[in-house]
Amino acid sequence: MAEFFAANGSDLLLKTWEHFYISAFALILGVIVAVPLGIALTRFEKSAKFIIGLATILQTVPSLALLALMIPIFGIGKVPAIAALFIYSLLPILRNTYIGMNGVDVDLKDAGKGMGMTNLQMIRRVELPQAAPVIMAGIRLSGVYVISWAALASFIGAGGLGDFIFNGLNLFIPSLIIGGTIPVTMLALLTDFGLGKLEKKVTPRMMQGNE
């Protein structure tokens, strides 16, 4: 492995950075879209099954097929990879937001209404803080998924650590495969750890005490 780092050290740093920001961009877009949509679905229950069902269908499309479908729309490179990873990130965040918001204690909601809170105030001050652990669990799951699936983005010229893995497979060079796989695994673990810390910060102290 020392020879691998000596020959590919700078390239490894570049590919790791590419992998990270492709994944991070897709995950942030997923949060921006899925969290508000999940909240909205709790107010429009009739649409909830259809929207979540649609997200579930998109999740079942094979990764390579979805990446290939992005090429006629966005061409090759990082943009179609981010678009595909964004689609894959939606379901866990959307579903957990919907479940978390619906799981808030009815007594807390009634207390908020009794205090004269508006619908928006209820969401911000009562429901979102209580649903935060469930929502963050969905974001953590999506984060790990996106980091893992981003390796496939190499097939459409997006770069990232997948370049090492697939070059190693094509050339039968185990050091390239290992040199790509280990950083992907470490990125996924660090992402889960970091989002886990964030989950604790956004979880109300009263709920942390009950854990």
Is there a domain that residue 114 lies in? no
Report pLDDT digits (tens) over 93-113: 999 999 999 988 888 887 887
Residues in Cβ contact with 7 at an 8 Å cutoff, skipping those fewer than 6 apart: none
In this structure, are residues 189 and 160 in contact, taking their beta carbons and an 8 Å threshold? no
Low-confidence ranges of the chain (pLDDT < 70): 1-7, 204-211
Domain that residue 13 falls in = 7-104+131-201
155 found inside a domain = yes
Q: 177 lies in a domain?
A: yes
d(CA 39, CA 102): 9
Q: How many CB atoms lie within 10 A of CB 29?
A: 17
pTM value surpassing 0.85: yes
pLDDT tens across 155-191, in order?
A: 888 888 999 898 888 888 888 888 889 999 999 999 9
Give the model's pLDDT for residue 192: 92
d(CA 109, CA 34): 23
Instruction: Give the pLDDT confidence score for residue 194 in this predicted structure.
Output: 92
Quick check: is 158 in a domain? Answer: yes
**What CATH number does residue 140 fall under?**
1.10.3720.10
**pLDDT at res. 1:** 58
The first and second tokens of residue 32, run together, are: 């921006």
Lookup: tokens for 22: 């492709």
In whole angstroms, give the CA distance from residue 141 to residue 113. Answer: 33
How many other C-beta atoms lie within 10 A of the C-beta of residue 81?
30
Cα–Cα distance, 191 to 34 (Å, whole number): 19
Please report, in angstroms and rounded to a whole number, the separation of the first and last CA atoms in the chain: 43
Asked whether residue 68 is domain-assigned, the answer is: yes
pLDDT of residue 57: 87
Tally of domains within the chain:
1
190, part of any domain: yes
206 occurs within a structural domain: no
Q: Is residue 172 assigned to a domain?
A: yes
